Structure 1
Amino acid sequence: MCAQSSSASGLATVGTGRVLAVLGPTNTGKTYLAMERLAAHATGMIGFPLRLLARENYDKLVRMKGVNAVALVTGEEKIIPPAPRYWVCTVESMPLDRPVAFLCVDEIQLCADDERGHIFTDRLLHARGGEETMFLGSDMIRPLILKLIPKVEIITRPRFSKLSFGGHKKLTKLPPRSAITAFSVTEVYQLAEMVRRSRGGTAVVMGALSPRTRNAQVALYQAGDVDYLVATDAIGMGLNMDVDHVWFARLNKFDGHRPRRLTAPEVAQIGGRAGRHQTDGTFGTTWDCSPLDDDIVQAVENHEFPPLQQLVWRNSDLDTRNVEGLLRTLEARPPSPLLIRARPADDVEALKALSGDAEVMGLTRRPRGVKMLWEVCQVPDFRKTMTDAHTRLLGQLYRHLMAPGGRLPTDFMAGQVQRLDNLNGDIDTLVSRIAHIRTWTYISHRPDWVTDPKHWQGLTRGIEDRLSDALHERLTQRFVDKRSAGLVKSLRDGRDLTGFVTADGTVLVEGHPVGALKGLAFDMQADVGEDDHPTLMTAARRALRDEIARRVAAVEAAGDDHFTLGADGIVRWDGVDLARLLPGERLLSPGIRLLRDELLDGVQRDRIRVRLLSFMQTRVQDDLAPLVRLSGADLTGPARGVAFQVVEAAGILPRADVADLLSGTDRKMMAALERLGVRFGAAQLYLPGLIKPKAAAMLGLLWSVREGLALPAPLPPPGRISVPRERADDGLLRAAGYLPLGPRAVRVDMADRLMRAIADRSGDGRLTDLSGLASLVAGSNAEMPSILAALGWRLRKKPPLVEGQEPPPDIWVRRRPEETASPASATAAPVPRPVDADNPFAALAGLADKLAAQAVAVQPTRQRRRKR
């Protein structure tokens, strides 16, 4: 191989061998051709843009030529047998001082790359094989190659398959064998999580991953364990995978200096990974990506891009006599207008930073001091941060290498390396550790820097492998639901799926848990796509058929102690929600609606409904025995109508509502009603047995269901005489045994007691003594005026105040009928008609009203005596 030019002004090295440029889009077989030509020569060397690609093609060549014939040289890995004939390298690591018959550089259009372009340009201009030199890349570089390389031969390769635009698709609608591209780690993680939820899982490929981790993720995808791949633009550089579709989630990227939109060639480089060999592929957009411009779509489909105008160049003829001369020659101008000077790379920035260190500058005056400093500055920062920490590390390396012995101390190496041998932490932590250990792997491959390089190479490689395996495991745990991914793979095969239900209700399909059977309801828990969901449900239903039949029979045979009725109106079977109460034809006969019946047939639904209605009938009979007895009592005449209305009113009925029926009820039927528990209060008919907490809770629930009120019902706490009325539904309060009286809801028996006390104190139709009345209803004196008003009393207007006399006491009198808002009010009661105290007949009228009130009060007592 011809030596590299030592002149800064020289252009392409002139050699005797053939120089060939094989140009074309992706999927044209360029790399395959180059590997064939390499194997055909006695010796050869090929440079790839990625360590991953170098390793992949090294393995292929080893299978062809044998392990002793092939060397692998990358920045972090060197496998060099005693006498290799073939060299597979990264472009930066090509040992150009070794003559070979054939030399090839892949992706030569990277000569225009801002970051690495100067390396590729140097290889284009100076790297040659003795018999044949081949450059592979995009057709965009054709005009510049023709101008820079004399007598170059150009071969254009057409794409094997068609690449067409697929438009925009929702993330959840992407077809299998799709790659989704984003340009930041955060977006990759976000997309991967969404794909996992909707499609069961995805592989993840990023430039920050180690080659071992990337290989494992690609293998996960290639094996069909997952059908989707989420990646950065790392997939655009020669990763060979069976991708049918490439979707852009973003069209903007940060290029190291500024955010910018992708160019048409970049879209083609990434999108061109869709389709392999003869299989056509599509590219398009997804997620919330902005639309692709029509001109870019046309350019990508037709593989027509504007030619490159300039290539990136950096001087390789360096002055290492002093740091100033080194920096000056690194910043030399290009020798041709076809070349543009590279912007300062990481190694130049590191050199500038260390040139400000007085101790470092003092060491550069020693022999080989400047050359060693430049070599140290080229130690890569795989974290791509160029932080002060990396610069300090480079300073430490340089000081140790310039010390007596010229080697890195063993203790120093051990301390730096061993702290990275830690598999704990999240994905980002492991990525950072891998980046660190890759730097030390690079250093370990400098035999002139370290003692026992084989030991350090094995140690750093082992740590990187363990970290990479842990990272692959973390990625798989986070972004692959193995259960759903395995199911999707089975679904793709198109065969019938087998299912099984475990003792705890877990439903297995093809051995994968897909959901759980709770009661009679199946909850799908497998993350599969919408298209696969019906097939999976069919398999689950098939597995559940016998189990559902068994559970229906178990519900039918279960005793009432296996069922519960909650305050929320839900009927539960052994703690599992089964049905909800619905309004029925009558208050005491609610309906039943099954909550989840999609797995039941019509007969099974009817069987379950009949069993639950039987349970509800028993519960109502137990909790509301007084009301049930009254509803089914053998009564005749008006008494039967009274009983019916009391039942429909949930056990509390204003006397005024049935006054006509009561007047027509004979003594025998009145006694029968009393025996059935009906109490004839001053203003209400009620059943004291319904005031108990269990009965009150059931009535409150049934009333709320019938009236469509929210559940659980806000019932008064058990045992309370009264509660603040606030905004509670009046009908619900009455169903629970409470009468709404002004600001309070008073338990019906205590409200009756209050009315009787008032009757005793108002024999003349006037009420002046309110003492002790508030305590009867657990209220306050301030609330009594409102309570009295609710009972039909009004405060009599006071006469004008006479000077020198005491103000007259408050006098409460019954409202006249026309003043009462609702004659049939729940609190209305037959009370004496108010009289004017100044009327001559006032005393007589008052006496008559008092006798009438006393007769009402003692009537129940007389009836009880007759009963005894």
Structure 2
Amino acid sequence: MRAQSRVTAVLGPTNTGKTHHAIERMLAHRTGVIGLPLRLLAREVYDRIVAQRGPSVVALVTGEERIVPERTQYWVCTVEAMPLEIGADFVAVDEIQLCADPERGHVFTDRLLNARGLHETLFLGSDTMRGAIAALEPKASFISRPRLSQLSWAGSKKISRMPPRSAIVGFSVENVYAIAELIRRQKGGCAVVMGALSPRTRNAQVALYQNGDVDYLVATDAIGMGLNLDINHVAFSSTVKFDGRRMRPLIPNELAQIAGRAGRHMNNGTFGVTGEARPLSEEVIDAIENHRFEPVRKLQWRNADLAFGSVDRLIGSLEKQTHHDWLTRVRDADDLTALKTLSEMPEIRGTVSAGHEVRLLWDVCRIPDFRGISGTEHAGLLARIFEFLRQGGPVPDDWLARNIARIDRTDGDIDALSKRLAYIRTWTYVAQRRGWTGDETHWRNETRAVEDRLSDALHARLTQRFVDRRTSILLRRLKQKETLVAEVNDKGEVTVEGEFIGRLEGFRFRQDASASPDEARTLRQASLQALRPEFHLRADRFYNAPDTEIDFTEQGGLMWGTQAVGKLIPGPEAMRPQVEAFVDEEAGPEVAEKVRRRLQHFIDRKVNALFEPLLNLQRDETLTGLARGFAFRMVESLGILPRDQVTQEVKDLDQDARGVLRKHGLRFGQFTIFLPLLLKPAPTRLRLVLWSLAQGLQEFPESPPPGLVTIPNLSEVPREHYILAGYRPAGARAIRIDMLERLADLLRAKDSRAGFEATPEMLSITGMTLEQFADLMQGLGYKAERGERAKIKPVAEPEPAATAGDATDAAQAEAADVDATEGAAAPAAEEVSPEASAAETPVVDADAGATPPAEPSTDAEATIAAETEVFFTFTWAPRPRENRNRGDRPQGRGNRSGGTRDGQSQGQSQGQNRRDSGQGQGQGQGDRPRHDGPKGDRPGKKGKGKPPSKPEGARSFSARPPREDRIDPDNPFAVLAALRDRK
């Protein structure tokens, strides 16, 4: 009956309906088999036939998939999996021109020679096969089918100018991914189709394109084999490909097979090149457009009459040559290479001899290397499978389960998932072989389920990476000329058609940075529909917002809550800054002006509130002459002025002028002249910003954390920054200027010539240890001498009663905080608690002649122990005379005005500061004040008497020199002492 079968060759270019004709002819018979070149195409044809006849009579057989119902009538297969011995009435082979393919051509040639239906046989393919089919099958009849639409050359186009409904073809995975990424950025996304994809993934990607979610398709040459898509233009990104052995240019009929996907049914299509591909020659373009190609001269062939007597005989039969004019022996395929490798293994060559074992070995060697690993590693896997099967049993379930479990993971990127899909195809192939597994149904379902999970995950990754759904939705709506719906929520998030496109920060729209340039323009245009009214609503809310919702940053920014709405810019004066509002142009000038006015009102009120004492000083019209000039200097320096910078100006001020300035809260300190209210954290923070604006700085200095008495003195930070922040550098740290003046009040009561030691109150004011305090004093111009002495410290003592010495210490602590020039007490909040001073443990200097402690008694008297105590003695250390300038040398000067003596002295302390004198008593107020301790002879001088004895429990301080001794001319109180002597 096969000899009576009618053989027909339906030949023609793409888009001629050949496959559709074959399906109709097969369904006209009771049974039929159709072989297709790709399992993707096999799945597509299977779905079409199932839709017409139902799944109960249609089988799908590929290398990795086997669906065979009990009442199967129609077999849809890949060419390699076609059943040839079932006696079907109809047999068809699609893409018969692949007989010339160097990889798979021998399989198609075998079907051309041997596959026949009982009643009808169809060969579908290119017209280039007419001569070969006529020579090998003289009884064959030919049907030529013309193309339904016209295919024309469109030249070279950039990807950015690629028209919608285009397919860009690449010939490597890397090339496909690179093009797809470029399409996503410029066009919003694309679908990806490759031969290595599973049918499930490929169908999901094709659905993206067919449904219009994306307008572009990036694919390998897999689309040239029968995939029917709505493609208007095909662009080649390259015209060369790697065929498994070398890079070679595509021949015209291969280009035509792919380009023919453009145009469907009666719709015309175009083809061209893109990227780095060179334009095609005129001859190639003419051949593609008119479907005229060189006919196939040789078909790839391999002997199908195999000998299974031994492994060597099997290899010999596979390597058999042919002398037929139309046939040429195919190069060694992967299965033959694997057979040769396994035959050289000692455990196989010496044991495989029976025919059924050789046939089994050949079946194992035909497992494709889906993984693409090395031949040796693939051969090792085949040898392991063959060992399981040769021992009479199936592949062990536990071994198979372990291998599948390693693959059954859906994490990772596209490459990882693609690799796992390739691996699972190997086990899917094994599960499809009859008798190779214990429970065939279970393992077929298991491997299919794993492949489906990996396929879905791969589709999701491909879509996530190469498809921007937001852009695809917008482009589809714009293409349909629909009005886009844009919204802004209470968080400032702007959405168009439910897709997030950016965020409204204050009065500026921050568009999503992931948008492509073309998409960005579309998104911006759509977002403005919602942003215009939102800008006005926000401007109204901002204008009526309280000042508590607005703030400035240390870099001059203006914030509304957490959103930047403007910045400060220099004004005509330091305390009159201007503002620049951050408002998009699309908001309009009305919104911009409203925001600017609100910001200007805020900063003006902020300056007026925080700098009220300084502004009052500036606006006081009663100030005249030198006082007015000094007030201008204070305003210019924003309320803090180092005294060494205005030495002469302070000296020139009389008491009346100083009194007027003091009424404004101005304090004439020994080191700094300042307004105490402007030392608070808020004015300090604003002062640094205003000063930085006035200086035109790019980076503004930051204010120190509030509440710190001292901060590190960093060499890279300018001294001026510390002064503006309310600190004076001294040694390794900088001390707050108001606390420094309190310290100066205590130092004036000490004899800086004879030397003195730090009191607990000094350490309490600075918050320092003794070592740190010594460094601070050296930074202020004092010399610190370190010493050690024995001290007697009670180990256990009863609760002490109040002593006269405690009362004296408390009284001194209470009176310590006196203005250096005013003699007034400092604010109560800055006073040191008398209890802190009284709580200090009394220390007795062993060298001071104190009475040794008595022996401890037996009735629980306090025991005492001797310890070593470190102490520092501080003395004034003036600069050498030859290095001093006029401002360095301390001077004394007394003036009479209204019964008050205004003593002026110029002392040295890290910059040589000038101070006011005290009132009424004529006491000099220099850097090294006179000592007001008890009178007596200077210690260490013969015949001058004994040093005064110290009260028990008091710290040891050096006695001041006697009045009659000659005073050091560098002493800042020398002049005052001379005046007193004249009395």
- For Structure 1 versus Structure 2, the TM-score category normalised by the shorter chain is 0.7 to 0.9
**Could you tell me which residue of structure 1 aligns to residue 510 of structure 2?**
523
Aligned counterpart in structure 2 of residue 92 of structure 1, from 74, 80, 91: 80
SS in 2 for 1:531: helix
Q: Which amino acid aligns with 1:706?
A: A
**Relative CO higher for 1 or 2, CA cutoff 8 Å, sep ≥ 6?**
1
Matched, 1:50 2:51: no
User: 1:635 and 1:744, CA in 2 relative to 1: closer, same or farther beyond 3 A?
Assistant: farther
Distance in 1 of aligned mates of 2:356 and 2:9: 39
Moved more, 717-726 or 567-576: 717-726
Matched, 1:575 2:645: no
Q: Which amino acid aligns with 1:415?
A: A
Distance in 2 of aligned mates of 1:722 and 1:217: 64
Aligned counterpart in structure 2 of residue 514 of structure 1, from 484, 501, 505: 501
Matched, 1:778 2:779: yes
Distance in 1 of aligned mates of 2:920 and 2:262: 97
Distance in 1 of aligned mates of 2:72 and 2:162: 47
User: 1:744 and 1:137, CA in 2 relative to 1: closer, same or farther beyond 3 A?
Assistant: same
Matched, 1:617 2:597: no
Distance in 1 of aligned mates of 2:596 and 2:632: 27
Match runs of 1:236-247 below 5 Å: 236-247=224-235
**Could you tell me which residue of structure 2 aligns to residue 811 of structure 1?**
881
Match runs of 1:493-572 below 5 Å: 493-525=480-512, 527-572=514-559
Moved more, 562-571 or 381-390: 381-390
Higher Rg:
2
Give per-residue Cα distances to partners, 1:359-406, cap 9 Å, x unaligned: 4334532242222221221122322335545433433443344344xx
Distance in 2 of aligned mates of 1:435 and 1:223: 28
Matched, 1:205 2:196: no
The Cα of 1:445 is off from its aligned counterpart by 3.5
TM, length-normalised to structure 1: 0.77
Match runs of 1:608-687 below 5 Å: 608-635=595-622, 637-638=624-625, 640=628, 642-651=630-639, 671-678=659-666, 687=675
What is the RMSD computed on CA atoms of the aligned residues? 4.6
User: 1:588 and 1:666, CA in 2 relative to 1: closer, same or farther beyond 3 A?
Assistant: same
**Could you tell me which residue of structure 2 aligns to residue 162 of structure 1?**
151
**Could you tell me which residue of structure 1 aligns to residue 372 of structure 2?**
384
The Cα of 1:595 is off from its aligned counterpart by 2.8
Distance in 2 of aligned mates of 1:279 and 1:858: 99
SS in 2 for 1:614: helix
Query: Does the Cα contact within 8 Å between 1:30 and 1:157 map onto a contact in 2?
Result: no
User: 1:684 and 1:456, CA in 2 relative to 1: closer, same or farther beyond 3 A?
Assistant: closer
Give per-residue Cα distances to partners, 1:129-161, cap 9 Å, x unaligned: 455544333344455445555365362633613
Match runs of 1:108-507 below 5 Å: 108-129=96-117, 132-142=120-130, 144-145=132-133, 147-150=135-138, 153=142, 155=144, 157-158=146-147, 160-170=149-159, 174-250=162-238, 252-285=240-273, 289-294=276-281, 300=288, 303=291, 305-385=293-373, 387-404=375-392, 408=394, 411=397, 415=401, 419=405, 422-426=408-412, 427-450=414-437, 453-507=440-494
Query: Does the Cα contact within 8 Å between 1:682 and 1:829 map onto a contact in 2?
Result: no
Distance in 2 of aligned mates of 1:75 and 1:520: 62
The Cα of 1:50 is off from its aligned counterpart by 0.6
The Cα of 1:246 is off from its aligned counterpart by 3.6
Matched, 1:17 2:6: yes
Aligned counterpart in structure 2 of residue 586 of structure 1, from 566, 569, 573: 573
Distance in 2 of aligned mates of 1:403 and 1:858: 109
SS in 1 for 2:572: strand
Query: Does the Cα contact within 8 Å between 1:650 and 1:734 map onto a contact in 2?
Result: no
SS in 2 for 1:419: helix
Matched, 1:696 2:673: no
Distance in 2 of aligned mates of 1:780 and 1:239: 92
Matched, 1:27 2:28: no
SS in 2 for 1:584: coil
Q: Which amino acid aligns with 2:485?
A: T
Query: Does the Cα contact within 8 Å between 1:681 and 1:752 map onto a contact in 2?
Result: no
User: 1:16 and 1:191, CA in 2 relative to 1: closer, same or farther beyond 3 A?
Assistant: closer
Give per-residue Cα distances to partners, 1:66-111, cap 9 Å, x unaligned: 5555443322334445565543221112222344554332222222
Moved more, 577-586 or 647-656: 647-656
The Cα of 1:425 is off from its aligned counterpart by 2.7
Query: Does the Cα contact within 8 Å between 2:167 and 2:235 map onto a contact in 1?
Result: yes
Distance in 2 of aligned mates of 1:131 and 1:373: 35
Give per-residue Cα distances to partners, 1:706-729, cap 9 Å, x unaligned: 333123425678767898685656
Give per-residue Cα distances to partners, 1:169-207, cap 9 Å, x unaligned: 24x554433334434444544544454455444333222
Query: Does the Cα contact within 8 Å between 2:194 and 2:219 map onto a contact in 1?
Result: yes
Query: Does the Cα contact within 8 Å between 1:165 and 1:297 map onto a contact in 2?
Result: no
Aligned counterpart in structure 1 of residue 93 of structure 2, from 82, 105, 117: 105
The Cα of 1:48 is off from its aligned counterpart by 1.0
The Cα of 1:355 is off from its aligned counterpart by 0.8
Give per-residue Cα distances to partners, 1:754-775, cap 9 Å, x unaligned: 9xx9xxx9xxxxxxxxxx9995
Distance in 2 of aligned mates of 1:429 and 1:657: 72
Distance in 1 of aligned mates of 2:433 and 2:73: 22
Q: Which amino acid aligns with 2:149?
A: F
The Cα of 1:561 is off from its aligned counterpart by 2.0
Query: Does the Cα contact within 8 Å between 1:2 and 1:127 map onto a contact in 2?
Result: no
**Could you tell me which residue of structure 2 aligns to residue 841 of structure 1?**
none
Q: Which amino acid aligns with 1:533?
A: A
The Cα of 1:123 is off from its aligned counterpart by 2.2
User: Sequence identity of aligned pairs in percent?
Assistant: 42
Q: Which amino acid aligns with 2:881?
A: I
SS in 1 for 2:309: coil
Moved more, 137-146 or 356-365: 137-146
Moved more, 187-196 or 315-324: 187-196
SS in 1 for 2:577: strand
Aligned counterpart in structure 2 of residue 595 of structure 1, from 582, 589, 604: 582
Moved more, 608-617 or 433-442: 433-442
Query: Does the Cα contact within 8 Å between 1:166 and 1:282 map onto a contact in 2?
Result: no
User: 1:777 and 1:283, CA in 2 relative to 1: closer, same or farther beyond 3 A?
Assistant: farther
Distance in 2 of aligned mates of 1:409 and 1:748: 88
The Cα of 1:462 is off from its aligned counterpart by 3.4
Distance in 1 of aligned mates of 2:356 and 2:484: 71
Give per-residue Cα distances to partners, 1:254-283, cap 9 Å, x unaligned: 332234455554444334433333334444
Query: Does the Cα contact within 8 Å between 2:905 and 2:916 map onto a contact in 1?
Result: no
Aligned counterpart in structure 2 of residue 708 of structure 1, from 681, 687, 696: 696
Distance in 2 of aligned mates of 1:138 and 1:82: 36
Unaligned runs of 5+ in 2: 752-772, 784-878, 892-902, 908-912, 923-983
**Could you tell me which residue of structure 1 aligns to residue 825 of structure 2?**
none
Moved more, 715-724 or 559-568: 715-724
User: 1:704 and 1:168, CA in 2 relative to 1: closer, same or farther beyond 3 A?
Assistant: farther
Distance in 2 of aligned mates of 1:198 and 1:605: 33
**Could you tell me which residue of structure 1 aligns to residue 929 of structure 2?**
none
Q: Which amino acid aligns with 2:495?
A: L
User: 1:775 and 1:475, CA in 2 relative to 1: closer, same or farther beyond 3 A?
Assistant: closer
The Cα of 1:356 is off from its aligned counterpart by 2.0
Distance in 2 of aligned mates of 1:740 and 1:461: 77
The Cα of 1:463 is off from its aligned counterpart by 3.5
Distance in 1 of aligned mates of 2:906 and 2:5: 136
SS in 2 for 1:312: strand
Equivalent pairs, count: 786
Give per-residue Cα distances to partners, 1:33-91, cap 9 Å, x unaligned: 33344445565432210111112112223444555554433223344455655432211
**Could you tell me which residue of structure 1 aligns to residue 951 of structure 2?**
none
**Could you tell me which residue of structure 1 aligns to residue 930 of structure 2?**
none
Q: Which amino acid aligns with 2:39?
A: R
